[in-house]
Structure formats: structure tokens, C-alpha cells
Amino acid sequence: MTAARIAYMSERSRMSFDVQRVRQDFPALKQRIYGKPLVYLDNAATSQKPQAVIDAISRFYSEDYANIHRGLHALSERATQAYEGARETVRRFLNAPAAQEMVLVRGTTEAINLVAQSYARPRLQPGDEILISEMEHHSNIVPWQIVCAERGARLRVVPITDAGELRLDVYEELLGPRTRLVAMTHVSNALGTINPIRQIIDMAHRRHAAVLIDGAQAVPHLAVDVQSLDCDFYAFSGHKLYGPSGIGVLFGKAALLDAMPPYQGGGDMISSVTFEKTTYNRLPYKFEAGTPHIAGAIGLGAAIEYVSNIGLETIAAHEHKLLAEAMARLTAIPRVRLIGTAREKAGVLSFVMEGIHPHDIGTVLDREGIAIRAGHHCAQPLMQRFGIPATARASFGVYNTPAEIDALVAGIHRVLEVFA
Amino acid sequence: MNPELRELYQEVIVEHSKRPRNFRRLEGARVAEGYNPLCGDKVTVYVDVHDGMLRDVAFQGSGCAISTASASVMTEVLKGKSEAEAARLFERFHALATQGAQAAGARSLGKLAAFAGVSAFPSRVKCAVLAWHTLQAALKGDAVSVSTE
């Protein structure tokens, strides 16, 4: 496709994108909070669910529910088909080569723990190193700390700039012969920074280090292609992508997953068991012990279809406009300071107000019907880096509107009034 | 403005959060640290006790308006009170913050009555009681951190 054709198509999809129509798909958005229309700006924590997802889950429980992978009966076959269908939807979403490389897990956190325990733990030798960044969520810090402490390995941290961008020059220096794994976020949950993961992965591979990308904040905003990225592991959760909570995905290259021991033992992950010896099931079932969140996987499949029908490019363009406008308008408000001003950002607007604690901002905005997050965003080392206890964070999704930015700005002026 | 919000952020509270009283270290006093891991509020409470009387109370730390103002007003109110009176006031303050003015008989609580509005904000109750829990730990001689999560 030519550049002109791409531009034409994205312009066309932008034109046909009608945010008011999208909002109709989300029943939760129709309610009023303290008598005011709900302004939901906490999408980086979790997103609301479209009717299509709610219906898919409800239909599955009403009509097709049974356990999977073992039934000789009709319901079990239908359930298995729906579950495996969702896996195929997820594979297409990440453009992974094979469905067997998509491990369905509880969420990003479990995916990272799986890689820490099954990939890193058996390989790490004393003195080996794992590289993470200063902007990681606790879920991409603590699993590595646990495994490093156990194996005598070293966790090293790539710093960021004041704008919230990764110091690639320091990353290059820290990548060394002892680096076994690089674990980095694609999009920062607290700053919104989009990391140049293609470059991060290439640099790691030149040093023969494997790479895990935490995609929890990225997949709702950016199209991800694990083949063109050539990443070894990619993890994300369903609930930030308009799907259910309790379901997530670990993509891993088949050769790596194959060589890894199971994460948990139990039913469905075996092909035969005797008291003397158990042989494990093939991929991805080796990593899916026990009855999984079947309805969750089906809901995730429906969410991906919903998002794909609108088009991630369209969603990204819509959110980018909102973010740019919100950043410009908040910058102009007295006492407000933005935290995270990277050149490449997605979805997230973190800010602090001089002399006003983020929790008080959150409480005042709540009474205006505006839901934001106030706190350390499970990134305490990052808060320490900026010398602040917490931030207020507004984060955008497909259904947010320019009018909601007006409401946010008015709400922040209300905060200024209270703490005049 | 939302009436509950006005009730929460009363002038007394906003003013104390901006200019906290007794915001200092007390050398040689009993001390305890309080921490709210959920929101990161941190407070260190110092209390100088002599013959069962709280001769001086002070605090340091960082937190939201509610937790800062609560610590500040607490230090003012408790200075010169006996340990037993302090314990009774904490009980009443706790009732005030969780159940509101009527349940706690706020009229006789003086400045502390300003915190009655907190009861309409369940997620903020822990902010209001953090300094009090910490004071209790200091009086008991528990130097360990208390947590109000």
C-alpha cells in the first residue's frame, strides 16, 4: 500500500469514527455520578466493557458452558471451540506465527511471573543480569527481584530522562555479556511514554539477550506485531483492552516455550501421568494447568474483535488528539505540572498540583463525576525518581470525548477553588 | 459545589493542611511512624509524656490535606491532656470520622468536629485516623510502623 493510500484510508476511518456512537456501546458510561454525567478517565487502571463483550460472556454461560478439552458431549465441544477460537483471535491480534505460542493466563502479572519462574530461573547463574527500566510497574520489577535474589543474579535498572524517556545511551552501556534478559514496558502506565521497543529488542538481540515486553498499556492504543518486533515474550491483560479481568496473554516464541519447564502442575498440562513419571502436554497447554477462565478468554476474543472493527489506527488517532488537547490545556492551568512529557506518548496524562495532594484532587474530581487515579500507580521507584509521593492521572480510551476534557479542566479549576 | 465536598474541605481543614501546627521534631519524646501504603501518606508523631500527661505533641510527614490537617489539629487538641483523655478522644474522633457528627456527639468535640464530613468519604477515613493510630502506637511504646490500610 502506498503512503498516500494509507493516509487516505486512515483519514476515511477517522471521518467515519463517531465517538458518540462508540459510547452507546458501553452501558456503564450512561450513568450519572453524584448527579453528574460519568466522565471515566481511569482507563489505564482498567477500561469499561462494550455490550458485545458482556453479551459474549453472558451468551457463553447461558448456552455453551462446559469444561474444555475433555468433553465427548456437544456443550464441551462448543466450549472448546469458543475457547480455542479466542486464542486464534489473540494470535491474529498480535500477528504471532502460531496459536500454540499464545498462552492464556490471568493477566500481565501472571505472564511475567511465568517467564521469571520458567524461563529466567533455570537459566540464571550467579552474576548474571536482568535489565529493566526506571519506569516499570511493580509487576515488572518484583518477579525479577524474586528470581534474582534466589539465583544470585543482579537486577539492573536503565534510567530515564526528566521528560520520562528511556536513556538509550545508558541502556547500551548496561547491555553486557552477563545480560540474560531485558524486561521493559512498551507504554508506561504512569507517564504514558511509548518506548522504542523495536530498537530495544534489536540492541538486546545483538548481545544475545532475550526480551520480554510488558504490553499491558500498549495494546489498547497501538497495533502490535510480534513478528516484526521480533520480541521473545510479549504480555498483556484483557481488562485494559475492554475485555474481562482475570484473563491475559503471554506470547512466547515456540522454541523458547518448548525448552521451558511448566509453571504450574495440574490437569490439562499433562499428556500422561503415572506416579513414576509424567509427560507434559504440548504447547500451549503445558502452561495452562487447571480449568482456565474460559468465559474470560471468550470475552477477550470479543473485545479484540470490537477494537479491531473500529481499528487501532483510528483509536490511536482519536486518543492522540484528546491527549494533545488535554496536555495543552492542563499546562495552562496555574499550579499544574505535567509528569511525563516524552515526545512519543499514548493515553496517559499524569500531573501534580503545587501544594495540593493528588488524593485531594481525586476526591474533588470524583464529586464532579470524574474518575481519575491518584496514587503511585504501582510504580514507587518512578515516583521516587521524580521526587513526588504520587500523581493524579487521567487516562483516555476509545470512548472519551473533547467535552470530557472540558469537564476535567473545569474540575481542576474546582480543585483550585477548594484549595485557594 | 457539592455540599459533601464543602463539608469535607472546611476552612479549618484547608487552613491546617496549608499551615500545620506543631510540625516539628520533639527530641527525647516517644515516637512512632504511621504509613498508609495505599496512598503513600507518611507521618511521624512525637509525644512527650510526663506523669501520665501529654506535655507536648508534634508531628512531621507528608500526606493529603485530610491527613495533614488531622495530625495538626490532633497535636493542638491533645496538648495538656492525660493519656486516658487522649484515648477517649481518639474513640470519639474515630466514631466521628466513620459515622458522622450525630453519632459522635460532635458539638462537644470542638475543633475536631471539623472532621465530621470525612464520614461521607469512606476511602478517606484512613487519612483522617492515620495520625491518631500513630499517636496510640507512640503512647504504647510501639516504635514500629503502624499502617491504616
Q: Inter-axis angle of helices A294-310 and A51-59, to 10 degrees? A: 150
CA-based nearest distance A132→chain B, Å: 24
8 Å CB contact of A383 and B40: yes
Instruction: Report the pLDDT value the prediction gives residue A267, as an integer from 0 to 100.
Output: 87
The topology (CATH level 3) of B3-140 is Sufe protein. Chain: A (3.90.1010)
Residues A14, A143: one domain?
Answer: no
Residues A300, A362: one domain?
Answer: no
Residues A19, A62: one domain?
Answer: no
Chain B interface disruption, residue of A367, A368, A377, most B CBs within 10 A? A367
Which residues in B lie closer than 8 A to residue A368 (C-beta atoms)? Answer: 2
Look up the pTM and report it: 0.93
Which residues in A lie closer than 8 A to residue B42 (C-beta atoms)? Answer: 389
Residues A288, A387: one domain?
Answer: no
3-state secondary structure of A396: coil
Residues A97, A224: one domain?
Answer: yes
Instruction: Report the pLDDT value the prediction gives residue A270, as an integer from 0 to 100.
Output: 86
Note whether residue A339 is domain-resident.
yes
Residues A265, A138: one domain?
Answer: yes
Cell numbers 469458543 correspond to A82
Q: Reply yes or no on whether the pLDDT at A49 is more than 70.
A: yes
Closest partner residue to A364 among B5, B18, B68, by Cβ? Answer: B5
Q: Reply yes or no on whether the pLDDT at A303 is more than 80.
A: yes
Rounded CA-CA distance A284/A297 in Å is 14
Query: What's the pLDDT tens digit per position in A193-220?
Result: 999 999 999 999 999 999 999 999 999 9
Helix H or strand E encompassing A25:
none
Instruction: Report the pLDDT value the prediction gives residue B146, as an integer from 0 to 100.
Output: 65
Residues A274, A332: one domain?
Answer: no
Eight-state DSSP code of residue A8: H
Q: Reply yes or no on whether the pLDDT at A8 is more than 80.
A: no
Q: Reply yes or no on whether the pLDDT at A10 is more than 60.
A: no
Q: Reply yes or no on whether the pLDDT at A405 is more than 70.
A: yes
The H-assigned helical ranges of A25-153 are 51-59, 74-94, 108-114, 121-123, 142-151
Active site residues of A: 378
Pairing of strands A391-395, A373-375: antiparallel
End residue of a domain, out of A266, A282, A308:
A308
Closest partner residue to A418 among B9, B64, B123, by Cβ? Answer: B9
For residue A165, the domain's CATH number is 3.40.640.10
Query: What's the pLDDT tens digit per position in B34-54?
Result: 998 777 789 999 999 999 999
Query: What's the pLDDT tens digit per position in A361-390?
Result: 999 999 999 999 998 888 989 999 999 989
Chain B interface disruption, residue of A32, A42, A360, most B CBs within 10 A? A360
Instruction: Report the pLDDT value the prediction gives residue B148, as an integer from 0 to 100.
Output: 62
Instruction: Report the pLDDT value the prediction gives residue B144, as an integer from 0 to 100.
Output: 56
Query: What's the pLDDT tens digit per position in B54-88?
Result: 999 999 999 999 999 999 999 999 999 999 999 99
Window from A75-79, A319-323, A346-350, B33-37 with minimum mean pLDDT = B33-37
Window from A73-77, A250-254, A273-277 with minimum mean pLDDT = A273-277
Q: Reply yes or no on whether the pLDDT at A408 is more than 60.
A: yes
Note whether residue A161 is domain-resident.
yes
Note whether residue A87 is domain-resident.
yes
Q: Which residue of chain A comes nearest to B121, CA vs CA?
A: A363
Residues A201, A264: one domain?
Answer: yes
Residues A237, A316: one domain?
Answer: no
Rounded CA-CA distance A187/A204 in Å is 18
List, in order, residues 6 or more apart from A84 with CB less than 8 Å away: A99
CA-based nearest distance A142→chain B, Å: 16
Q: Which of the four pLDDT bands, split at 50, 70 and 90, describes residue A268? A: confident
For residue A360, the domain's CATH number is 3.90.1150.10
User: Domain range spanning residue A251?
Assistant: 54-308
Q: Reply yes or no on whether the pLDDT at A226 is more than 90.
A: yes
Note whether residue A276 is domain-resident.
yes
Closest partner residue to A367 among B2, B41, B66, by Cβ? Answer: B2
Residues A315, A256: one domain?
Answer: no
Instruction: Report the pLDDT value the prediction gives residue A7, as an integer from 0 to 100.
Output: 53
Query: What's the pLDDT tens digit per position in B97-133?
Result: 999 888 777 778 899 999 999 999 998 999 999 999 9
Domains in chain A, number: 2
Rounded CA Rg of chain B: 14
Which residues in A lie closer than 8 A to residue B3 (C-beta atoms)? Answer: none
Q: Reply yes or no on whether the pLDDT at A1 is more than 60.
A: no
8 Å CB contact of A414 and B1: yes
How would DSSP label each residue in A289-304? -SS--HHHHHHHHHHH
8 Å CB contact of B40 and A375: yes
Q: Reply yes or no on whether the pLDDT at B142 is more than 80.
A: no
Residues A249, A352: one domain?
Answer: no
8 Å CB contact of B62 and A389: yes
Residues A211, A340: one domain?
Answer: no
Instruction: Report the pLDDT value the prediction gives residue B47, as an integer from 0 to 100.
Output: 96
Rounded CA-CA distance A394/A371 in Å is 8
The length of chain B is: 149
End residue of a domain, out of A274, A308, A342:
A308
End residue of a domain, out of A250, A275, A308:
A308
**Going along chain B, which residue ranges are E strands?**
30-36, 41-50, 53-62, 146-147
For chain B, what are the domain ranges?
3-140
Average pLDDT over residues A244-262: 98
3-state secondary structure of A369: coil
Rounded CA-CA distance B94/B70 in Å is 12
Note whether residue A329 is domain-resident.
yes
List, in order, residues 6 or more apart from A148 with CB less than 8 Å away: A124, A130, A154, A155
Q: Give the CA dihedral A137, A139, A145, A147, nearest 10 degrees.
A: -150
Residue A86, all three cell numbers: 479466542
